[in-house]
């Protein structure tokens, strides 16, 4: 089924000792356009994240943001040996200089090399752990895009049905319109020539040329074929994106509508052509958001 390019997905998980949350947002775009924001310690894996996004998302502007919530107790270790050395030194200074005997643990912890804020390399996690969280966010995103795609499919099938109905009405009107045009032409020739003899062979040629100029059978045949292909594409099951194909078919239908309108010379047909163009414009607005 078709998939929308608008969606949101999020996931959380562990990368080493860090709790990482991933948010993924997408909006429509002609091509795959990623924007990845990772914390500094994960910057070296940005290429891997981009590649995973490229494999899972065909089109759209993709914005990924990763946040790290690290357990302070786990990332910060206290160097007890250095802590004890500072305590002994401060006690000695207190005794020698008659200072207050109060010692504040916070003051000692703020001294150099007491708290080791550096994380061991083994605690930083692996790219596989990060990509697993990104994959979960992508799955949530794709579920949302699929749900929106189902709504878009229902809308498009409804609108293309109205287009097909207008094409059918034009088909029904076309023979009558042609007869009326030929009749008007013959009447105009008769009124203009009055009693003057008319070359019937030349008149027949002009009538044939008029019929050829006004014939829209080929345009309607192609229009029906485009409508059938549009419906088939919407109902196609598979992972292959169909947004570009739908856009191409839509362009072809607009072209056929314009040609039919230019050859119409009939108020009823023109009314249906205007209705078709209105529906095709509504369809175009939604097709732009399909992956």
Q: Can you tell me the mean pLDDT for 247-257?
A: 96
How many domains, the chain?
3
- The predicted structure's pLDDT at residue 160: 97
Q: In this structure, what are the phi and psi dihedrals at residue 173, rounded to the nearest 5 degrees?
A: -80, -30
Mean pLDDT, residues 239-243: 82
CA gap 275, 185 in Å, rounded: 28
Label the pairing between strands 60-70 and 32-37. Answer: parallel
Residue 30 inside a domain? The answer is yes
The mean pLDDT value for 235-254 works out to: 88
pLDDT tens, residue by residue, 184-200: 666 666 655 655 665 66
The 8 Å CB, 24+ separation contacts for 170-176 are 170/216, 170/220, 170/260, 170/269, 170/272, 170/273, 171/220, 173/266, 173/268, 173/269, 173/272, 174/216, 174/217, 174/220, 174/269
Whether 164 and 257 share a structural domain:
yes
Distance CA 231, CA 228 (A): 5
Per-residue pLDDT averaged across 268-290, rounded?
Answer: 94
Contact 19, 67 (CB under 8 A): no
> Does one domain contain both 167 and 280?
yes
Asked if residue 74 has pLDDT above 90, the reply is no
pLDDT number for residue 21: 95
Strand partners, 36: 64
Output the DSSP codes for 65-77. Answer: EEEEEE-HHHH-E
Are 153 and 98 part of one and the same domain?
no
- In the chain, % of residues over pLDDT 90: 53
Query: Which contiguous run of DSSP H or E holds residue 172?
Result: helix 127-193
Statement to judge: residues 224 and 133 lie in one domain: no
In angstroms, the CA 144 to CA 8 distance is 7
Q: Is 122's pLDDT higher than 90?
A: no
Mean pLDDT of the chain: 84
Lowest-confidence segment of 101-110, 116-125, 230-239 by average pLDDT: 116-125
Looking at residue 135, which CATH number applies to its domain? Answer: 3.30.230
60 shares a domain with 95: no
Q: Around Cβ 271, how many Cβ atoms within 10 Å?
A: 15
Together in a domain, 185 and 231: yes
Are 172 and 59 members of one domain? no
Spatial neighbors of 44 by CB under 8 A, at least 6 apart, are: none
Instruction: Answer with the residue of higher pLDDT: 65 or 202.
Output: 65
Q: Please indicate, yes or no, whether residues 169 and 282 belong to a single structural domain of this protein.
A: yes
In a domain? residue 227: yes
- Secondary-structure breakdown of the chain: helix, strand, coil percentages, each rounded to the nearest 5: 65, 15, 20
**Please, which residues bridge with residue 14 across strands?**
19
Q: Residue 2 domain-assigned?
A: no
Assigned domain for 177 exists:
yes
pLDDT in tens, 128-186: 999 999 999 999 999 999 999 999 999 999 999 999 999 999 998 887 877 776 676 66
Contacts of 141 (CB under 8 A, 6+ apart): 7, 8, 9, 24, 26, 57
pLDDT at position 174, please? 81
Question: Same structural domain for residues 86 and 176?
Answer: no
**Same domain as 188, residue 249:** yes
Report which of residues 205 and 60 the model is more confident about: 60
Nearest 5°: the CA angle 231, 237, 242 is 60
Q: What is the pLDDT at residue 91?
A: 83
In this prediction, residue 100 carries a pLDDT of: 73
Is the pLDDT at 81 greater than 60? The verdict is: yes
Output the furthest CA–CA distance in the chain (Å, rounded).
140
Domain range enclosing 61: 7-73+123-144
């Amino acid at each position: 089924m078709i998939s929308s390019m608008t969606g949101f997905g999020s996931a959380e998980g562990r990368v080493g000792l860090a709790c990482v949350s991933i948010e993924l947002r997408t909006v429509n775009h002609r091509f795959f356009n990623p924007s990845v924001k990772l914390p500094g310690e994960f910057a070296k894996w940005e290429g891997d994240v981009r590649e995973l996004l490229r494999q899972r998302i065909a089109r759209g502007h993709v914005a990924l943001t990763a946040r790290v919530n690290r357990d302070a107790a786990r990332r910060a270790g206290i160097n007890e040996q250095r802590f004890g050395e500072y305590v002994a030194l401060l006690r000695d200074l207190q005794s020698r200089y008659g200072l207050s005997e109060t010692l504040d643990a916070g003051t000692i912890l703020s001294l150099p090399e007491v708290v080791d804020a550096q994380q061991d390399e083994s605690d930083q996690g692996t790219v596989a752990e990060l990509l697993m969280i990104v994959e979960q966010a992508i799955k949530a995103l794709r579920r949302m895009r699929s749900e929106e795609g189902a709504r878009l499919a229902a809308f498009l099938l409804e609108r293309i049905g109205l287009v097909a109905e207008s094409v059918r009405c034009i088909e029904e009107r076309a023979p009558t319109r042609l007869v009326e045009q030929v009749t008007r032409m013959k009447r105009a020739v008769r009124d203009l020539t009055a009693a003057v003899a008319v070359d019937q062979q030349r008149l027949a040629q002009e009538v044939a040329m008029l019929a050829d100029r006004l014939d829209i059978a080929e345009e309607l045949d192609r229009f029906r074929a485009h409508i059938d292909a549009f419906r088939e594409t919407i109902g196609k099951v598979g992972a292959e994106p169909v947004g570009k194909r739908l856009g191409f078919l839509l362009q072809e239908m607009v072209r056929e509508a314009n040609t039919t309108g230019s050859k119409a010379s009939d108020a009823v047909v023109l009314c249906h052509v205007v209705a078709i163009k209105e529906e095709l414009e509504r369809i175009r607005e939604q097709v732009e958001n399909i992956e």
